[in-house]
Structure 1
Amino acid sequence: MAEAPESEPPCEPLPSSSHELVAAEVTEDEGPLPKRRRMLEADASERLEYRLGGILCCAVCLDLPQSAVYQCINGHLMCVACFTHLLADARLREESATCPNCRVEISKTSASRNLAVEKTVSELPLECKYCTSVFPRHSLPNHEENQCEERSYKFSQLVVSHAVKRRYLDSLVRIVAGVYSLLVSALRSTHCGRARRPARRRLTSCRFACIGCPWRGPAHEGGAHEAACAHPNKSAAEVLEVIAERERLSHETMAVYNQVMDLLSYEKITFTDLQLKPYRLDEFVHKMYYESSRFTAFSHQWLVKAFVNRNQQDPTQSSEREITYQLIMKSKPMGTCTVQWVVVSGPLGEARLAARLAHHAFSELQPDAPPAVLPLVRRSDANRLLANKALHFRLIMFLCTK
């Protein structure tokens, strides 16, 4: 009879995935492989962060967006600053704005926000510039401003001029010396009698700020600074300039308050929500300007014109934009009509405006008020306004009667 063939040992099944293969190799050699794998994983994570930073960056400035992110219909990303700048440039050139990558037309209606990219960028790690700790981007500003204990503050020194002749200061020094000594003693007595609160990680000012100390830092460092602060030991002549500056600011604040109260007490007050549409100058260089429709106020016809970089021949060659407006009386007055006005943002405005009063005596010989700069709180808001099809703001007018 033929001998039965010897049975071969059963074959072990192959690992179904690379994870099982790595696990099998690790069981055979527990030494350097886990360490090598951790290094590879760390390198892969670093490369992933860099790759995400390169993929999610703005197509114009090539930087990671700080706030809103817009995309064209093909998905190319732009930060909100570059997006509004492209729209403003296209408005000034009387062209259609296009994506810098694919040249497809973009506008506020065709482009859309990408919330997924905004959230992804906010979670990317970033190093603190003070303590070199790594935090997500959305929590880093709060850490640097309120929580970082290694944040350094530069103490600015007050420069007191010594060119003032002393004989003109003798009478003022005697008055200020008494007020200054009373103020310092009151501050010290108040500080000694007050129970010390537990230090919190928040920003605070020196208690001698009213006499010129510019220090501002964490609350837990306030005690050490106040103990070494040199302002309580200064003479009255040295703090005279600081007190005079504080008095000047208080006078300006009171003057603005009184002026506003006087204007509100006028008999004839009116406001108009304006919409300024773009037009072109009929010149060799077709500069764009804005003009509102005529409106009635104080029984007269008015309109408002606005210009972009009025003193520049071609505003498209500059990255900084300035909007100048001008109030014009279109009807012929019988005499002189003195008007004060202020421009505010209004219900449809998209930019914050600072309160700045203007006035002009309108007459038949002077129907145009001098041009005034639109008082934007942030200069970058000029592109934000120019990106729209029209400028919107509210004009409040006060008629000055004799």
Structure 2
Amino acid sequence: MEEDNSILVDIQLLSRSITLEQGTSNESEEKDDGCFKPPPAKKACLATTSTAEDEKSKLEVRLGGILCCAVCLDLPRMSVFQCTNGHLMCAGCFNHLLADCRIKDNTPTCPNCRVELSRSACTRNLAVEKAVSELPAECTHCGRNFPRNMLENHEASFCLERPTPCQYNVLGCDWKGPHREAAAHEADCKQRSLSASEILPFLRSEAEKAETEKSKFSNFMNLLSYEKITFNDVQMRPFRTEEFNHNLYYETTRFSAFGCLFSINMRLNDDRRDTHLTNDRYLSYQLVLRGKPSPPRFLVHFSIVRGPYGGMKVLPNVAQHEFTETLTESSWNLLPLVDSAECNRLLANRNIDFRIVMSQQPVSSL
């Protein structure tokens, strides 16, 4: 009997422990269900959000593939042109394509459908330009995504990772780093502790640069101050040499100035061969006297500027030449365009329009 009672007690204790363990496990399950497992509605909400983001990114990728340039296969950053069949090209590739065909004397065609391209046949697609401006693009400095219409302003003014030179660079400091580190560097910049004799060479270099720019401005103002001054709006037309390679050159019709007839010649890359294989393109020009000089000897200052037609982006620069009966052609002068892209834009046009300002220096001052 005693053994039976002890066994019964052990069974009761075991049942109680099992009951307690079950209760504890139920409480933990209820706790887990309440704290760590999101409700079904929340799960669905999270899944819907992630799916929407994935679909949005896929849509952006698909739009980027559809709206990209047919030449460089990249999304345009500026104007978008299209051929008669609707294939898209960014402004830089469009101008470069027309310029290459102008140099090689070929007919420009669309890289996709081979339809003929021209300034008159191709049009801008404003809807695509607006759509591309809203697509996200990655900042080249910090890697964050911004709409393309905001990206340029962000990279230039607001990005903390944008390259920024030290404010003491005029004193010879060559440090250039992220904008967020500029203040810390400038506080410890060694150029701040230089003596006057050590700073003087850098200041002289900056003064020489400023003097060069000042002389350009002074020369142009002197051009406008002479007694005899005139200007003509002229148009460059393309021609081909009679050589085997048929090099491209430009020439204007004759125009009158100071009782004489003049014309302007222009050439590409100083008549070097295979200019269509290089991206570094420039134009040079010369002023030519047609006929006998009157008076027999006179000095002309001249400068090419942007006229009312064409919109040439050219920097101010004044050239001069003394015309005589034997010296009727000036030396070749570099046309100071802002960059090679502007040269391609001019070559892409059928004609090049600009204005030339000329002044005749009095003979007595020669």
Q: Give the TM-score taking structure 1 as reference length.
A: 0.73
The answer to whether the aligner puts 1:55 opposite 2:66 as a matched pair is yes
User: Does 2:281 correspond to 1:321?
Assistant: yes
Q: Assess, with a 3 A threshold, how the Cα gap between structure 1 residues 299 and 119 changes in structure 2: closer, same or farther.
A: same
Q: Name the counterpart of 2:267.
A: 307
RMSD, aligned CA: 2.8
Q: 344, 361, 382: which is aligned to 2:343?
A: 382
CA distance in 1, matches of 2:347, 2:202: 42
Matched, 1:71 2:71: no
Q: Deviations over 1:241-296 (max 9, x none)?
A: 11212332343344344434433331111111111111221122212211111111
Taking structure 1 as reference, are residues 55 and 356 closer, same or farther at Cα in structure 2, changes over 3 Å only? same
Q: CA deviation at 1:130?
A: 3.8
Q: Which residue of 1 aligns with 2:143?
A: 132
The answer (yes or no) to whether the contact 2:83–2:122 under 8 Å persists in 1 is yes
Whether 2:198 is the aligned partner of 1:264: answer no
Separation (CA, whole Å) in 2 of partners of 1:219 and 1:59:
36
- CA apart distance, 1:216: 8.8
1:121 aligns with 2:132: yes
Deviation at 1:365, TM superposition (A): 1.5
Distance 1:55-1:287 versus aligned 2 partners, 3 A rule: same
Contact 2:220 2:318 in 1 (8 A): no
Query: Where do 5+ consecutive residues of structure 2 fail to align?
Result: 1-39
| Cα distance in structure 2, aligned partners of 1:41 and 1:258 | 63
Return the letter of the residue paired with 1:111: C
Distance in 1 (alpha carbons) for counterparts of 2:42 and 2:196: 75
| Corresponding residue for residue 298 of structure 1 | 258
Larger CA Rg, structure 1 vs 2: 2
Q: Give the one of 221, 229, 232 matched to 2:192.
A: 232
Per the alignment, do residues 223 and 385 of structure 1 end up closer, same or farther by CA in structure 2, a change over 3 Å counting?
closer
Percentage identity across paired residues of the two chains: 43
Greater alpha carbon shift after TM alignment, 212-221 vs 275-284: 212-221
Cα gap change, 1:257/1:290 in structure 2, threshold over 3 Å: closer, same or farther?
closer
**1:335 partnered with 2:346:** no
Amino acid at match of 2:198: E
Q: 1:149 to 1:290 in 2, by over 3 A?
A: closer
CA distance, structure 2, for counterparts of residue 355 and residue 265 of structure 1 = 16
1:288 aligns with 2:248: yes
Deviation digits for residues 43-64 of structure 1, max 9, x if unmatched?
3222222111111110011111
Question: Do the aligned partners of 1:213 and 1:231 also contact (CA within 8 Å) in 2?
Answer: yes
Q: Are the equivalent residues in 2 in contact too, given 1:123–1:136 (CA < 8 A)?
A: yes
In the alignment, residue 57 of structure 2 is paired with which amino acid? E
Q: Which runs of 5+ in 1 are unaligned?
A: 1-28, 156-205
Return the alpha-carbon distance in structure 1 between the equivalents of residues 94 and 150 of structure 2: 25
Aligned pairs, number? 324
Could you say what secondary structure the match of 2:56 adopts? helix
Aligned-partner residue type, residue 45 of structure 1: K
Distance 1:285 1:148, change over 3 A: closer
Match of 1:329, as an amino acid? L
Cα distance in 1 between the residues matched to 2:91 and 2:298: 44
Q: 1:105 to 1:58 in 2, by over 3 A?
A: same
Confirm or deny that 1:273 pairs with 2:284: no
C-alpha separation in 2, matches of 1:216 and 1:85: 33
Equivalences for 1:93-104 in 2 at 5 Å?
A: 93-104=104-115
Name the CA distance, whole Å, in 2 between partners of 1:270 and 1:39. 69
CA spacing shift, 1:141–1:254, aligned 2, 3 Å = closer
**Residue type matched to 2:354 in 1?**
F
CA distance in 1 between counterparts of 2:45 and 2:209 reads 68
Q: Check 1:123–1:293 CA distance in 2 against 1; reply closer, same or farther (3 A cut).
A: same
Q: Is the 8 A contact 1:285 1:314 kept in 2?
A: no
Q: Could you report, residue by residue, the CA deviation over 1:72-95 in whole angstroms, capped at 9, with x for unpaired residues?
A: 111100001111122222323333
Bigger share in helix:
2
How far residue 126 of structure 1 moved from its aligned partner, in angstroms, is: 2.0
Does 1:147 pair with 2:108?
no
Instruction: For residue 121 of structure 1, report the CA deviation from its aligned partner.
Output: 1.0
Supply the distance in 2 between the matched residues of 1:132 and 1:348 (Cα, whole angstroms).
41
Does residue 86 of structure 1 match 2:86? no
138-147 vs 49-58, which deviates more?
Answer: 138-147
Residue 266 of structure 1 aligns to which amino acid in structure 2?
Y
Letter in 2 for 1:121: V
Q: Which moved more, 1:380-389 or 1:302-311?
A: 302-311
Aligned counterparts of 2:346 and 2:324: Cα–Cα separation in 1: 32
